[in-house]
Amino acid sequence: MWLASRLSQKQINHLCLTDFPCGYGSWRKTKDSTGGAETEETDALLDLLSCPHSPWWQDVSWSPQAPALRKLAVLSPECLHTDFMYSYFTTLRIVDKAVSVIDDGLLKFSKLEELVLSANKISEIPVENLPSTLKILELRANRLSALNSFTSCSPPRLQYLGLSSNSLSSHRDISNLTDRHWPQLVCLDLSDCEFQNQPALLSALSTLPSLKTLVLEGNPFTLAPSYPGFTVDSLPQLSCLDGSWISAEERHRFRGLAKMSDLIVDQASATVNVGRVKGLPDPLSADENAPDFPVVTYSYFITYEFLSDQTPATLDVNSESNFDTEHVTEEGSSDADLQSNKNCLRATLKPDTGVLNSEETCHVAAHVSRHSTSKLTWSECMDFSDTHMFIVSDLGGLKKFLNQGLNLTIEEEKVLSWPAASEDIPAAKPNRNVKEKKGGKGKESPIKSGSNKDKSKDKKKKSVPELVQDAPIRRSLGSVHIPLGSLVKGDHKVDVLCDLGALHAESEDLGKKIKEEKEDKEPKRRGGSDTRQKNTALSKGKGKGKKDHEVDVQADSSVSVQLEPVTVELTVKLEKWQSASEAHQLLLPHQTS
């Protein structure tokens, strides 16, 4: 357990105010002494303190008074008594030092005006241990979960209070942010907390008479369309919001927004748009010599997960929006990816700090829906133009989801179609065999009397209506993770071109697999002892050599050609009201219905 006063005392001790070149010692040249080789001029001693290459130089960024105090220890060391040193400091910065307790030792700094305790482990603020002279108090990224003890007797002169990146969210915390506790507060930083009730928070902050600068970005309610307009209109005394000055034109646009009745301010609306996909290899490019049956068709679609307040049937984690319920996965890839995505999403919604109970976890997880675009056949540029809007009331869950990011996957669906069991189709099969045996010469059947072109047309006309489709075979071609944390930090739109790298067509992967199997079988053929088996292997090798060679050449050529990377256009946008009139227009349909 580290005490704040102990850390501050340690920093003061590191100044070495009584050691060379500071303080008294034989190295000092006095007026009465004649001096010698062992003494130093005052200017030389000061240079040893300030020169960055000096072994006595120190990083004293923790307080602006520290270098001045070291200089004073050279010029007037007689002033450095204990009470003077503590009263000399007006600023202390103790950052990321694992401080967990603010003890009464800080009261010794009788003139302290600025205290920075960022990135520590402080969970409570005993106000009685803070100097009454404080004007600036920074407590960013600590473990504060309540403001009860902090506001019992707050420093009366405090003008800046930084509480960002703490787990503050309760109504009681909001009630402690009023003029009764902070009468002179000018600047308040509540960024990246967990406040969701925007009207209640703004109602409390409106009582602060001196508040001019406010930072709220990163809170769940800032994801709603009403932000920042509702805040600008609710706090007319505010000059700066989230690091930007509030203009007169902006105030005019949002005038009257805070007084609108039936205004929904605790709901977010996110629009996800999937655009063009480029770079997918043609699945039929290597199947020119494929048999007539089965007829293989390929289609492609994009899947991703998002939060939504839609009907429970579409929000179940185990269901898939716009998916067929019956399909076959190839090598288990699709189901495995789906399960991993579910697990990832469950992990996504675990909070970074604090504890989330099981009811909250189930509630958030139930809002995760899997959305898929429509299916398109292959082309060099497939334009999905899929736009979907998600309405989310769980703003805290949405913040966690956006911080984790979105997973996007390209899916391929392959369908095999076979001739239906009928009288015509079986009759056509022997004719095809006859053609293979006799090389297609002669006129054994009237079906072969026509030209090849007419025969193929007639065959298509007869077979297409009578094809029977197998269950779709789906596989995941690739996935990519898209960070969306910038939407939590204040951006309204994320527009990215997702790069999934180069992908190979299924036929190319099959060719590589055949080549590997062939290489595995060759040692077995060489190791056989029976001459007949060797001859058989050789005869089989002669029969298949040409085809295997073609596959090998095809696979090798596919590797040598530099493939184009697969890219997907994706846009995620949070809806934001640009004026009070826009919000009023959205309210009209609800009022008339």
Per-residue pLDDT reduced to its tens digit, 52-77 = 877 777 788 899 998 888 888 777 77
User: What confidence score (pLDDT) does residue 161 get?
Assistant: 96
3-state helix, strand, coil in the chain (%, to 5): 35, 20, 45
301 beta partners? 411
Alpha carbons 290 and 508: distance in angstroms, whole number: 14
Between these two residues, 132 and 335, which has the higher pLDDT value? 132
Q: Which two tokens stand for residue 344?
A: 């990832």
Q: Which residues of 101-139 are buried (b: 16+ CB within 10 A; e: fewer)?
A: bbeebbebbeebbbbbbbbbebebbebeebbebbbbbbb
User: What confidence score (pLDDT) does residue 425 get?
Assistant: 46
The pLDDT-based confidence of 121 (bands split at 50, 70, 90) is very high
In degrees and rounded to multiples of 5, residue 22 shows phi and psi of: -90, 175
User: What confidence score (pLDDT) does residue 64 get?
Assistant: 92
> Under DSSP, is residue 475 helix (H, G, I), strand (E, B) or coil?
strand
User: What confidence score (pLDDT) does residue 354 get?
Assistant: 36
Measured CA distances, 517 to 508, 526, 547 (Å): 14, 15, 14
Tell me if the bond preceding 21 is cis, omega within 30° of 0.
yes
405: region left, alpha or beta (phi > 0 left; psi from -120 to 50 alpha): left
Between these two residues, 118 and 27, which has the higher pLDDT value? 118
Alpha carbons 15 and 9: distance in angstroms, whole number: 10
Q: What is the mean pLDDT of residues 256-267?
A: 86
One-letter amino acid at 372 equals S
Q: Is residue 403 part of a domain?
A: yes
In degrees and rounded to multiples of 5, residue 496 shows phi and psi of: -130, 155
Between these two residues, 430 and 297, which has the higher pLDDT value? 297
Q: Which two tokens stand for residue 387?
A: 């736009």
User: What confidence score (pLDDT) does residue 51 get?
Assistant: 77
Mean pLDDT highest for which of 34-43, 113-122, 328-337? 113-122
Q: What is the mean pLDDT of residues 188-214?
A: 96
Measured CA distances, 366 to 146, 182, 235, 335 (Å): 29, 41, 36, 19
Helix 452-463 vs helix 424-438: angle between axes, to the nearest 10 degrees? 150
Q: Is residue 111 part of a domain?
A: no
The pLDDT-based confidence of 43 (bands split at 50, 70, 90) is confident
Q: Which two tokens stand for residue 22?
A: 């500071």
Measured CA distances, 305 to 230, 314, 346, 383, 569 (Å): 30, 12, 12, 20, 16
Model-level pTM? 0.73
For residue 59, what is the enclosing H or E element? none
Query: Is pLDDT of 300 > 80?
Result: yes
Measured CA distances, 533 to 475, 538, 540 (Å): 40, 8, 10
Cα dihedral across residues 355, 361, 364, 370: positive or negative: positive
524: region left, alpha or beta (phi > 0 left; psi from -120 to 50 alpha): alpha
User: What confidence score (pLDDT) does residue 107 get?
Assistant: 93
Answer for the pair 223, 488: CB distance below 8 angstroms, yes or no: yes
Q: Is residue 281 part of a domain?
A: yes
Alpha carbons 455 and 443: distance in angstroms, whole number: 14
Q: Is residue 464 part of a domain?
A: yes
The pLDDT-based confidence of 520 (bands split at 50, 70, 90) is low
Query: Is pLDDT of 254 > 60?
Result: yes
Q: Which two tokens stand for residue 10?
A: 């340690």
Alpha carbons 69 and 85: distance in angstroms, whole number: 8
Measured CA distances, 242 to 59, 218, 408 (Å): 31, 10, 31
The pLDDT-based confidence of 111 (bands split at 50, 70, 90) is very high
Task: For 552-570, write each residue's pLDDT tens digit.
Answer: 444 444 444 567 899 999 9
Q: Which two tokens stand for residue 194?
A: 């967990």
User: What confidence score (pLDDT) does residue 336 get?
Assistant: 43
Q: Is residue 373 part of a domain?
A: yes
- Tell me how crowded residue 229 is: count the other CB atoms within 10 A of its CB: 24
Task: For 460-511, write each residue's pLDDT tens digit.
Answer: 454 455 888 889 899 999 999 999 999 999 999 999 999 999 886 665 554 4
Among 41-50, 112-121, 189-198, 468-477, the range scoring the smallest mean pLDDT is: 41-50
- Tell me how crowded residue 359 is: count the other CB atoms within 10 A of its CB: 8
In degrees and rounded to multiples of 5, residue 189 shows phi and psi of: -115, 110
Q: Is residue 53 part of a domain?
A: no
Look at the chain and report how many structural domains it folds into. 1
Cα angle 168-398-581, degrees, rounded to a multiple of 5: 95
Q: Is residue 372 part of a domain?
A: yes
For residue 381, what is the enclosing H or E element? strand 381-392
User: What confidence score (pLDDT) does residue 558 get?
Assistant: 44
Tokens 């902090």 label which residue? 150
Q: Domain range spanning residue 367?
A: 270-440+449-517+561-573
178: region left, alpha or beta (phi > 0 left; psi from -120 to 50 alpha): beta
Between these two residues, 15 and 546, which has the higher pLDDT value? 15
The distance in angstroms from the start CA to the end CA of the chain is 61
Answer for the pair 208, 180: CB distance below 8 angstroms, yes or no: no
Alpha carbons 132 and 85: distance in angstroms, whole number: 18
Per this entry, what is the length of the chain?
593
Q: Is residue 524 part of a domain?
A: no
